[in-house]
Amino acid sequence: MNRRSLRITGMTCEHCARSVEAALNAVPGVRAHVDFASATARVEVDQGVSPEALVRAVAESGYRARLLEERPRSESMAGGPATRIAIVGGGSAAFAAALEAASRGAQVTLVEAAPVLGGTCVNVGCVPSKILIRLAEIAHLQARHPFEGLAHCVPAVDRAAQLRQQQARVAELRHVKYEALLEGRETIRLLRGRARFATPHRLLVRHADGTETEVRAEGVLIATGARPAVPEIPGLADTPFWTSTEALAAETVPEHLVILGGSVVAVELGQAFRRLGAAVTILARSRLLSREDPALGAGLRAAFEAEGIRVLCDTVPTAVRHGVGGFVLETRHGVIEGDRLLVATGRTPNTAGLGLERIGVETDVQGAILVDDHLRTSVSHIYAAGDCTELPQYVYVAAAAGTRAAVNLTGGDARLDLSVLPTVTFTDPAVASVGLTETQARQRGLEAEARILDLGQVPRALANFDTRGFIKLVADARHGRLLGAQVLAAGAGEVIQSAALAIGAGMTVDELAGRLFPYLTLVEGLKLCAQTFRKDVGQLSCCAG
């Protein structure tokens, strides 16, 4: 008889744990117990049962499993917390980890290859994109607001001036939230250069002048982030296409922007440039926001088409070329031409060149580092966090992972719990989700029921003269426990955290329906949607309790 341990990901409740347990115990020669709190399966197996069979059984039940192997801690890490820590990267995960580790008494060496600190979010991601989205929203409202008696006007757009203001705010936040935090901190040393592993405890950092510095560490955190992915389409690599980085730094608005991709970056930037005056065509490999509830993508597509954005689903160019007239894309819909092309087809982990294969750090086929819920890699003293891992690519996940990794590196025990993860796509209407969709719940063996509340039933939306979208709640049909929420609405991002708190607290739809919500707020729609499980809200008075 052999004993095995598996790390299980994707579980959101005790029922999930029992489903995984049942799947494992269905394998001949296996006796398993799954603990939801630690996301771990302890398994006794007869001779001849392979680890692959265990992983496959979990996958067939709708979850993911990774074999955990006990590895002796080597060199100076044997049995104790790290006091000398190296962190490779300079973004959100890296800084959160550096500050936490330093506060816990560690000496930290932060190694950053980029010319500026802060990583993707503050420099070329969240911050500049939300500034662009907000100014585009204001331009749109000037031209197309819904109120009578207030004249519409077509705003004059000076993108160069907007860009100066945008980049000034980026520089300000980068200084306040990153650069200034290192000033006067003797326990955090910053090294500029590109790191690679010489041994599991020794890094070589190559500087811009070609010299190298050796860094020895008892513990290491890899937080190198990710970069835009470029699909292999004939001719594309030979053209001057944009990624999100170039799009956000553009000093002019395109006449016709063609976008490859249908996920978050594609839809956010596509709508923003449309509202600043560009014609926009989106080519999505499958559909808009394909990882979300299909109703969200369908509703967003309708809103986009109402604004004049052309959306072509199930479309990938067969060839791309660029000439004097701009870009030419060959598709099943015919030739599509535009003066700018934005490639927004996902991101690739920045792990090449680190020498991970040399020291035994495992990655997936895309190069993302595999970690457990304590952020440990397959090498006991090396941790990883942020977009270079298989974790969801959100800055708040990266920062939380970095903090927890630092706690664990310095002798603590902190788990990253992603069972209730709220997400927001900053379009208009915005898209927000948390927990399980109706389909996911049923795939996991739950008896689920759902209710959809059209925003025309929400008083705040009526007062705003903007009833685009809906609120959807998913609940366990047997007990009424809230399992998930999906929202398509202007301001959906301000609603979803209340749903996340309700799911995290294990609330039922009846408990949510009975809570007090301020009248004429959009979040009141959660209460109204919860009430639809038992009542016809169309027959209730305003703010009916």
Look up residue 189 and give its two tokens: 């040393």
Cis ω before 429 (30° cut-off from 0): yes
16 is catalytic: yes
Catalytic residue among 178, 388, 396, 542: 542
Catalytic residue among 77, 126, 388, 529: 126
126 is catalytic: yes
Catalytic residue among 11, 388, 507, 529: 11
394 is catalytic: no
313 is catalytic: no
Strands 256-260, 279-283: parallel, antiparallel or unpaired by DSSP? parallel
The values of phi and psi at residue 71, to 5°, are -120, 130
Give residue 156's identity as a one-letter amino acid code: A
Q: Where are the beta strands (DSSP E) in 138-271?
A: 188-192, 194-199, 202-206, 212-216, 219-222, 226-228, 256-260
Look up residue 219 and give its two tokens: 């513990």
Catalytic residue among 63, 178, 383, 394: 63
Q: Report how far apart, in Å, the C-alpha atoms of 269 and of each of 174, 265, 354, 425, 428 are.
A: 22, 6, 32, 11, 11
153 is catalytic: no
13 is catalytic: yes
List, in sequence order, the alpha helices (H) in 251-377: 264-275, 294-306, 356-359
Look up residue 258 and give its two tokens: 């063609």
Residues 391, 399: Cα–Cα separation, whole Å: 12
Contact 142/152 with Cβ under 8 angstroms? yes
Catalytic residue among 1, 77, 121, 396: 121
Q: Report how far apart, in Å, the C-alpha atoms of 451 and of each of 448, 473, 512, 536 are.
A: 10, 6, 14, 11
Contact 327/259 with Cβ under 8 angstroms? no
Q: Where are the beta strands (DSSP E) in 47-89?
A: 64-68, 84-88
Catalytic residue among 13, 388, 507, 529: 13
Catalytic residue among 16, 77, 388, 507: 16
Catalytic residue among 313, 519, 529, 543: 543
Residues 37, 11: Cα–Cα separation, whole Å: 10
Residue 498 makes CB contacts below 8 A (sequence gap 6+) with 523, 526
Residue 49 makes CB contacts below 8 A (sequence gap 6+) with 2, 27, 28, 29, 30
Q: Kindly report the CA angle at 127 between 101 and 144, in degrees rounded to 5? A: 155
List, in sequence order, the alpha helices (H) in 183-293: 244-248, 264-275
The values of phi and psi at residue 231, to 5°, are -70, 155
Residues 375, 364: Cα–Cα separation, whole Å: 15
Tell me the catalytic residues.
11, 13, 16, 63, 121, 126, 542-543
